[in-house]
Amino acid sequence: MARLRVPGCVIDCAVVGDGPAVLLLHGWPQTGYAWRQVVPLLATRYTVVVPDLPGFGASSRMTGGYDKRSVAEVLHRLMLVLGFSRYHVVGHDVGGQVAYPLAALHRESVASLTFVEAGIPGLGDSLAAANPLTGGSWHFGFNMVPDLPEFLLSGRERGYLEFMFRRDSIGLYVSDAIREADLDVYARALAAPGAVRATMGYYRALPDDIEDNRGLCVAGPVTAPTLVVGARYGVGLGWLDTVEAAARDVSSCWVEECGHYVPEERPAELAGILMERWAA
């Protein structure tokens, strides 16, 4: 792991392997640790860059700037600091929300774009995903409330994460994919000073993201080959229409016997899907 300074932020980041560059973006409520089983498989052919997103893990917890467009700019600068002017981007969950503006703003740099259990807020039928009355997840609203999550979760971070991974309706299908020791890693990260505030910032920025994404979409579709990976027992392909609204060359696939946390539940299958796609 290395700590790399980019304007306005310090990013904790691992760089593993050799070959074309791949940027792996984790989701909420995790860190780059989520890719721990995928990285060795990809690193046989690729240089894999795995950051903790700003606000997560050991990266800077900024006072603001968690709209996905701003985060995307931080990550593009990170790749340039590392010497990569062109790279594949894979985003799981919130990482996928960051991946879209990254690809839309830096078209010459993004060789391909993959959404894993993710989509683009503000496009298609995405607002339904944040409304529990339409089958969406309750946590969008809870995480967006100012100050309350910080108050309620103080000292209870591990319990909240355990609920999200093991009891939520789109949690784990492979029940032992996140073990007690793994849960401890995520709990320590979320319990760090300022971490709840910072990570909830990704949800509190959603109104800005919606406006930004609609503007980027009007500017023209992403032309990089784009893949949407859905889990049978997770979000699935519920976000597919949002990606189809924003990208020109979109394909999709299912991961069977899997919940929302694909990189941890089915790492070998996900790595195979990605390498097959990049080799095409």
Catalytic residues: 93, 203, 260
Given a contact cutoff of 8 angstroms between Cβ atoms, the answer to whether 87 and 114 are in contact is no
Q: Is the peptide bond before 29 cis (omega within 30 degrees of 0)?
A: yes
Fill in the amino acid letter for 39: V
- What is the rounded CA–CA span in Å between residue 260 and residue 43? 24
Does residue 251 sit in helix, strand or coil? strand
**Region for 122 from its dihedrals, namely left if φ exceeds 0, alpha if ψ lies in -120 to 50, beta otherwise:** left
- What is the rounded CA–CA span in Å between residue 107 and residue 155? 43
Could you please report the per-residue DSSP string of 140-193?
Answer: HHHHHSSSHHHHHHTT-HHHHHHHHHHTSTTS-SSTTSS-HHHHHHHHHHHHST
Helix (H) / strand (E) element for 16: namely strand 9-17
Given a contact cutoff of 8 angstroms between Cβ atoms, the answer to whether 176 and 165 are in contact is no
